[in-house]
């Protein structure tokens, strides 16, 4: 199954800042998260669903930006929230 939302990703894709941190946790003064994800529509970096605040998913619901990728070193997988699948 092909995800139609991948075609909406800007070219070139946004790049994760280095070092990457969860922007939303930073605003809250939180420094602990499990893993980071980056929105491929706007480049927003946020914590994953294994983190206490699940900011990457919150970002999706706030913006309707459908595709994110892992912002962890050495990982390149992408996830589509609309289709609930790896793309």
Q: Write down the pTM of the prediction.
A: 0.87
Specify the pLDDT at position 73.
83
Specify the pLDDT at position 13.
66
Q: What mean pLDDT do residues 23-44 have?
A: 91
Specify the pLDDT at position 72.
87
CA separation for the pair 4, 64 (Å, rounded) = 14
Q: Which two tokens stand for residue 19?
A: 């070092």
Specify the pLDDT at position 8.
81
Q: What mean pLDDT do residues 75-85 have?
A: 92
- Ordered structural domains, the chain, with CATH: 18-82 (3.30.40.10)
Q: Which residues contact 71 (CB under 8 A, 6 or more apart)?
A: 16, 20, 35, 36, 37, 38, 45
Q: Which residues contact 54 (CB under 8 A, 6 or more apart)?
A: 47, 48
Q: What mean pLDDT do residues 18-42 have?
A: 89
Which is higher by pLDDT, 74 or 49?
Answer: 49
Between 8-17, 19-28, 42-51, the lowest mean confidence (pLDDT) is in 8-17
């Amino acid at each position: 199954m092909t995800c139609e939302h991948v075609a909406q990703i800007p070219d070139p894709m946004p790049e994760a800042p280095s070092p990457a941190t969860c922007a939303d946790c930073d605003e809250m003064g939180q420094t602990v998260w499990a893993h980071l994800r980056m929105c491929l529509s706007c480049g927003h970096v946020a914590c994953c669903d294994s983190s206490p605040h699940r900011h990457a998913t919150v970002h999706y619901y706030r913006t309707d930006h459908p595709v994110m990728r892992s912002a962890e070193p050495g990982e390149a997988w992408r996830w589509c929230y609309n289709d609930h699948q790896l793309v």
